[in-house]
Amino acid sequence: MTRFVAFHLFGISLLVASCLATDTPADRAYRNGTVFTADVQNPVAEAVAIRDGRIVYVGSNEGLIRFIGPATRVTDLKSGFLMPGLVDGHLHPLEGGLRLRQCSLNYESLSVEELQQRVQACIDRTRSQEPDGWLEVASWFQESMRPAGVKTSRATLDALKTSRPIIVRSSFGHTVLANSRALALAKIANATPDPPGGKIWRDANGNPTGLLEDSAYAVYSDLVPKPTPEENVFAAKVAQEAVNRQGVTSFLDADAAPEDLSAFTAVQAAGQLTVRAHFAPLIEVAQGSDPVGAVAKVVGYKKQYDQGAIKAKPGITVRNAKLFLDGVIAAPALTGAVLEPYRVNAGTQENPHWVPGQNRGPSVYFPAQLLAEILVRLGRAGIDPHMHADGDGAVRAALDAVEVMRKQIDRGDVRPAIAHDEIVSPADFPRFKALDTISVLSFQWEKPAGDTIGLTNYFGPERMKILEPAGLLAAAGARIAFGSDWPVDALDEWFALKVGVTRTNAPSAPPEFHGKLGEDPGLSREAVLRAATIDAAYELHEDDVTGSLQVGKFADLIVLDRDPFKISAEDIANVHVLETVVGGRTVYESTSQH
Ligand SMILES: [Zn+2]
């Protein structure tokens, strides 16, 4: 094993490792397949061999023969498809695991009445919690409420038969709807000012409507009882099983609270970790005024939890930090920081007349100078910044800060990432490449749906053409990494990868969501698969050992039930993973017949 590492460092791993390997048979081998390697030098192969958790051979069936000994476990792929394991460059695994067990609205498009029925059903199922137990409702697809534009408020929840405090969390994770009891317990009233980085929606008299954006609902993290450590460990296991099942072998927890770190560390300590788990602790907006302290806190987490170099057996890595630069561009929140103001309706509901307004969303959550200083300090500490930027104003602020950082740090390998990039000024497209900054995209948003088409009035037809600009960014040379953002959406990696290619919704979507989104050309199948393997591995600083099938790398691979290059692009959504292997060990195997 060490031999490979040593030779790999000198860049001749392929040649030397293959020669050394002839004397020792492989532990496992796959043959008779179509192997997509994500390695530009050797893109397609038929067979793979694994020893001690590492790949010792990638090539033809004939070449594999000398790696097979009496004890080698050989899998005949029968013309099946094998590729590197998926690397999910942005998700929220603990939250995802917890939500799989919570009262959930399942991301569905609901009327107000249906929403009330669903929440009432949760209340009725948990009557023992009356009168004071908190009810938290997850995965509310606020932007897709029917009919489009319908308003919800605390009255929506106050009408339910309960006296319990209720908060309903929007699936985008930037809005909470609270009932009157929950508002009262949080002391959110007419006189309460909007906190920095947050917004309290109000009626004509200034009274809170119940809708709270971003830091305005932070108060609930102290009020609502937290899951116990045991519940968190269970949720972490549920989450890793769910992602392994979809073919994920590495992920970045893109907002890692201490509970996330301790839960996954406990899973690993029990010898049960089956995914390479990377964590990005959050630098809160309030910490922005103290860059030294903010970075020291992340470094503290790194010291406590990071397990150093990646090994065959999955471990815990802390070398990223998360920063939110704005909210979401989705209507009605409009908390994304944008360069051109959101348009407003100067007409009536019946006769709308949309004209440019004044509102550019919030100021970028971190002032430019402080953001740049934080990035410089992170870079010097060997921590990669992972910035949430939805609107083009926030994206520009992120790029500006990276530019300062690049000027001040001339050495070292800092890999800044800007996640979401839902709207980007065309002037900024080439800056991703010029500043060597990764665009981390959730491909499933690149389709006509409530959250995108619902923006047409606010953005106007010209800007709508370049919404979700994956193909345009790629054409400008940006390195694109995939991140599912689960549980902002349901966990469905293959649907997301399909949308990355087609920019279409599911065939079952309502007619108003048929067709392609905007004028962006989308990505090729190869580009989409690379974004979810080698390029996301680059984002996580593990591309030297994972992300592609190359001799010397760890054997993180998946076997699929169909070849994503040979089926219709639409059918990529239906790909099923038959086997997921991490470091040479099978962590998921489909039991269904194929
Ligand atoms: Zn996220």
Measured in Å, residue 428 CA sits from the centre of ligand 1 at 22
| Mean pLDDT of the region 572-583 | 98
Measured in Å, residue 387 CA sits from the centre of ligand 1 at 10
Measured in Å, residue 76 CA sits from the centre of ligand 1 at 39
Percentage of residues in the chain with pLDDT exceeding 70?
Answer: 95
Q: Are 101 and 236 in contact (CB under 8 A)?
A: no
Question: At residue 466, does pLDDT exceed 90?
Answer: yes
Question: At residue 155, does pLDDT exceed 80?
Answer: yes
C-alpha to C-alpha distance for 208 and 196, rounded to whole angstroms: 17
Measured in Å, residue 329 CA sits from the centre of ligand 1 at 14
What is the secondary structure of 218-269 as a DSSP string? Answer: TTHHHHSPPPPHHHHHHHHHHHHHHHHHTTEEEEEEEEE-HHHHHHHHHHHH
| Mean pLDDT of the region 431-457 | 95
Measured in Å, residue 92 CA sits from the centre of ligand 1 at 6
Measured in Å, residue 388 CA sits from the centre of ligand 1 at 7
pLDDT one-digit tens code per residue, 217-226? 999 999 999 8
Measured in Å, residue 124 CA sits from the centre of ligand 1 at 31
Measured in Å, residue 365 CA sits from the centre of ligand 1 at 16
| Mean pLDDT of the region 16-31 | 72
C-alpha to C-alpha distance for 454 and 442, rounded to whole angstroms: 18
Measured in Å, residue 444 CA sits from the centre of ligand 1 at 13
Distance set, CA 548 to CA 16, 58, 170, 362, 589 (Å): 18, 11, 36, 40, 21
Query: How much is the pLDDT for 22?
Result: 54
Percentage of residues in the chain with pLDDT exceeding 90?
Answer: 86
Question: At residue 9, does pLDDT exceed 50?
Answer: no
C-alpha to C-alpha distance for 242 and 261, rounded to whole angstroms: 18
Residues whose Cβ atom is located within 5 A of ion ligand 1:
254, 485
Tokens of 365: 């959550």
Measured in Å, residue 230 CA sits from the centre of ligand 1 at 24
Measured in Å, residue 420 CA sits from the centre of ligand 1 at 8
Question: Going by C-beta distance under 8 Å and a sequence separation of 6 or more, which residues neighbour residue 197?
Answer: 214, 215, 285, 324, 362, 365
C-alpha to C-alpha distance for 89 and 388, rounded to whole angstroms: 13
Question: At residue 423, does pLDDT exceed 70?
Answer: yes
Query: How much is the pLDDT for 40?
Result: 92
Query: How much is the pLDDT for 26?
Result: 97
Measured in Å, residue 255 CA sits from the centre of ligand 1 at 7
C-alpha to C-alpha distance for 512 and 476, rounded to whole angstroms: 31
Order the strands of the 479-482 sheet from edge to edge.
320-324, 384-389, 417-420, 438-441, 479-482
Which residue shows structure tokens 């007619």?
511
Query: How much is the pLDDT for 280?
Result: 98
Order the strands of the 585-589 sheet from edge to edge.
44-45, 34-36, 81-84, 557-560, 577-582, 585-589
Name the pLDDT band for 174 (thresholds 50, 70, 90): confident
Measured in Å, residue 325 CA sits from the centre of ligand 1 at 12
Query: How much is the pLDDT for 98?
Result: 92
pLDDT one-digit tens code per residue, 285-329? 988 889 999 999 999 999 999 999 999 999 999 999 999 999 988
Which residue shows structure tokens 């410089």?
376
Question: At residue 21, does pLDDT exceed 90?
Answer: no
Measured in Å, residue 571 CA sits from the centre of ligand 1 at 26
C-alpha to C-alpha distance for 249 and 276, rounded to whole angstroms: 6
Name the pLDDT band for 216 (thresholds 50, 70, 90): very high
Measured in Å, residue 80 CA sits from the centre of ligand 1 at 33
Query: How much is the pLDDT for 8?
Result: 40
Query: How much is the pLDDT for 23?
Result: 58
Angle, CA 337 vertex, CA 332 and CA 341 arms, to 5°: 75
Which long-range contacts link 64-70 to residues 24+ away (Cβ below 8 Å)? 64/29, 64/31, 66/21, 66/22, 67/21, 67/22, 67/25, 67/26, 67/29, 68/25, 68/26, 68/29, 69/24, 69/25, 69/26, 70/25
Measured in Å, residue 483 CA sits from the centre of ligand 1 at 8
Name the pLDDT band for 16 (thresholds 50, 70, 90): very low
Question: At residue 411, does pLDDT exceed 90?
Answer: no
Measured in Å, residue 489 CA sits from the centre of ligand 1 at 10
pLDDT one-digit tens code per residue, 520-529? 999 999 999 9
Q: What is the mean pLDDT of the chain?
A: 93
Measured in Å, residue 385 CA sits from the centre of ligand 1 at 14
Measured in Å, residue 20 CA sits from the centre of ligand 1 at 44
| Mean pLDDT of the region 550-562 | 98
Measured in Å, residue 485 CA sits from the centre of ligand 1 at 5
Mean pLDDT lowest for which of 51-60, 98-107, 251-260?
A: 98-107
Distance set, CA 49 to CA 9, 65, 141, 302, 582 (Å): 21, 10, 45, 34, 14
Measured in Å, residue 547 CA sits from the centre of ligand 1 at 21
pTM of the model: 0.87
| Radius of gyration from C-alpha coordinates of the chain | 24
By CB neighbour count within 10 A (0-12 exposed, 13-18 middle, 19+ buried), where does 527 fall?
middle
Phi/psi at 45 (nearest 5 deg)?
-145, 180
pLDDT one-digit tens code per residue, 79-109? 999 999 999 999 999 999 998 878 999 888 8
Measured in Å, residue 226 CA sits from the centre of ligand 1 at 20
Distance set, CA 454 to CA 420, 443, 492 (Å): 18, 18, 22
Show the beta-strand stretches assigned E in 98-188: 103-104, 135-140, 166-170, 175-178
Measured in Å, residue 91 CA sits from the centre of ligand 1 at 6
Write a three-state SS string for 340-391. CCCEEECCCCCCCCEEECCCCCCCCCCCHHHHHHHHHHHHHCCCEEEEEECC
Phi/psi at 398 (nearest 5 deg)?
-65, -45
Strands 166-170 vs 86-91: parallel, antiparallel or unpaired = unpaired
Measured in Å, residue 398 CA sits from the centre of ligand 1 at 16
Measured in Å, residue 352 CA sits from the centre of ligand 1 at 34
Measured in Å, residue 254 CA sits from the centre of ligand 1 at 6
Measured in Å, residue 229 CA sits from the centre of ligand 1 at 22
Question: At residue 177, does pLDDT exceed 50?
Answer: yes
Measured in Å, residue 23 CA sits from the centre of ligand 1 at 47
Q: Are 468 and 459 in contact (CB under 8 A)?
A: no
